[in-house]
């Protein structure tokens, strides 16, 4: 590699071509990834959404036909409804449970490390593992339902996983189980940053502890709550593995989700055009939701961060 000659001044002029050439070379792989995948593949998908592609990609132009077809497809509309329901319940549930766990752990409890480890371990596992574990646990014939019935409640019913109207809730439960530890970890870091003086002041004023958490601490850790919510929302948009493992989209179409709809149309149903249209809808939605946060978090002009 080219080593720059000794510069005459204390602060080397970095703008010179010779000193920058290796850096440019080093950035080529990343540039290729950006160019071919993050831009190229994305544009290609959008392009295919305007084509009549079935099994193989065709580059004709059928305007918005695939989109019209998409919004007239029951399976897609259902999957959008499902993901909206799942998203709201999962994000709200994980935030509430994660917040409670963080607050209670923050009470200087003994064995804090043990509790933290227990609450976060599901997050280390794959969605496939989570899905299969809960599929078995909620199995109506041999799982929880049978156990509770035999424990003396013969009328106990918990067959949500095979109930068309309730199956989404079982996915929510499993996902909250997996993700609320993540929220706890993020919020706990925020709580640990609260100034001890603040606690002294509220103690002197005899403000109840719960009041302090709700009215003072919660606004203070708002940025962490937002970060947690964004992470959870990303998981919602990507929701696929959990559904495949736990319910396979069933019973019937009652737990279909957009990411699965797209995958099925690409790789099983030979509907590349339709799948691309659905992927484009997903893309636009995701960008609309996340770009303000990405901008404020990472891309704001220098000096605004930290």
Residues 156-175 that bind other proteins (CB under 8 A): none
**Least distance to other proteins, CB of residue 255, Å:** 14
Distance CA 102, CA 104 (A): 6
Query: Measured between alpha carbons, how far apart are the two ends of the chain, in Å?
Result: 35
Rank residues 145 and 168 by Cβ distance to other proteins and give the closer one: 145
Q: What is the DSSP letter of 79?
A: H
The answer to the question of residue 127 lying near other proteins (CB under 8 A) is yes
Distance CA 243, CA 131 (A): 7
By CB under 8 A, the residues from 179 to 198 that bind other proteins are 181-182, 185-186, 189, 191-192, 194, 196
List Cα–Cα distances, 282 to 1, 107, 211, 294, in angstroms.
Answer: 44, 42, 40, 17
Q: How many other β-carbons are positioned within 10 Å of the β-carbon of residue 38?
A: 10
By CB under 8 A, the residues from 196 to 235 that bind other proteins are 196, 199-200, 203, 209, 217, 227, 230-231, 234-235
Binding to other proteins by CB under 8 A, coded x per residue (else -) over 12-51, reads: x-xx---xx-xxx-xx-xxx-xx-xxxxxxx-xx--x---
What's the chain's length in residues? 306
Taking CB under 8 A as the criterion, the residue among 150, 166, 252, 296 binding other proteins is 150
Rank residues 75 and 146 by Cβ distance to other proteins and give the closer one: 146
**Least distance to other proteins, CB of residue 163, Å:** 19
Lookup: tokens for 101: 């766990």
Collect all residues with Cβ–Cβ distance below 8 Å to 52 and sequence separation of at least 6: 58, 60, 62, 65, 66, 273
The answer to the question of residue 75 lying near other proteins (CB under 8 A) is no
The piece of 68-76, 84-92, 158-166, 279-287 that touches other proteins (CB under 8 A) is 279-287
The answer to the question of residue 144 lying near other proteins (CB under 8 A) is yes
Taking CB under 8 A as the criterion, the residue among 177, 179, 256, 274 binding other proteins is 177
Distance CA 263, CA 261 (A): 6
The answer to the question of residue 288 lying near other proteins (CB under 8 A) is no
Backbone angles phi, psi at 10, to 5 degrees: -65, -45
Three-state DSSP class for 164? coil
Distance CA 290, CA 267 (A): 28
**Least distance to other proteins, CB of residue 71, Å:** 18
By CB under 8 A, the residues from 88 to 107 that bind other proteins are 97, 100-101, 103-107
Distance CA 113, CA 8 (A): 55
By CB under 8 A, the residues from 241 to 270 that bind other proteins are 241, 244-245, 248, 259, 262-263, 266-267
The answer to the question of residue 298 lying near other proteins (CB under 8 A) is yes
The answer to the question of residue 81 lying near other proteins (CB under 8 A) is no
């Amino acid at each position: 590699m080219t080593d720059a000659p000794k510069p005459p001044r204390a602060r080397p002029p970095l703008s010179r071509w010779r000193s920058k050439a290796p850096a440019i070379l080093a950035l080529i792989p990343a540039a290729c990834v950006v160019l071919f995948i993050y831009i190229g593949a994305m544009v290609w998908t959008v392009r295919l959404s305007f084509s009549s592609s079935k099994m193989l990609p065709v580059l004709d132009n059928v305007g918005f036909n695939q989109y019209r077809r998409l919004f007239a497809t029951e399976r897609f509309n259902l999957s959008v409804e499902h993901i909206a329901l799942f998203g709201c319940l999962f994000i709200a549930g994980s935030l509430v449970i994660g917040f409670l766990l963080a607050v209670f752990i923050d009470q200087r409890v003994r064995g804090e490390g043990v509790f933290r480890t227990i609450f976060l371990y599901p997050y280390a596992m794959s969605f496939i593992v989570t899905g299969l574990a809960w599929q078995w646990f909620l199995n109506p014939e041999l799982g929880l339902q049978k156990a509770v019935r035999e424990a003396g409640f013969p009328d106990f019913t918990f067959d949500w996983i095979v109930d068309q109207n309730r199956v989404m809730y079982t996915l929510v439960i499993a996902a909250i189980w997996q993700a609320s530890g993540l929220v706890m970890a993020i919020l706990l870091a925020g709580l640990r940053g609260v100034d001890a003086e603040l606690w002294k002041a509220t103690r002197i004023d005899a403000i109840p502890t719960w009041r302090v958490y709700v009215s003072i601490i919660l606004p203070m850790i708002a940025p962490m709550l937002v970060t947690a919510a964004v992470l959870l929302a990303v998981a919602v948009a990507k929701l696929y593995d959990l559904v495949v493992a736990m319910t396979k989209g069933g019973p019937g179409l009652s737990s279909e989700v957009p990411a699965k709809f797209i995958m099925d149309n690409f790789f099983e149903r030979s509907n590349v055009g339709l799948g691309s249209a659905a992927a484009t809808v997903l893309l636009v939605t995701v960008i609309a939701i996340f770009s303000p946060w990405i901008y404020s978090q990472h891309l704001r002009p220098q000096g605004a961060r930290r």
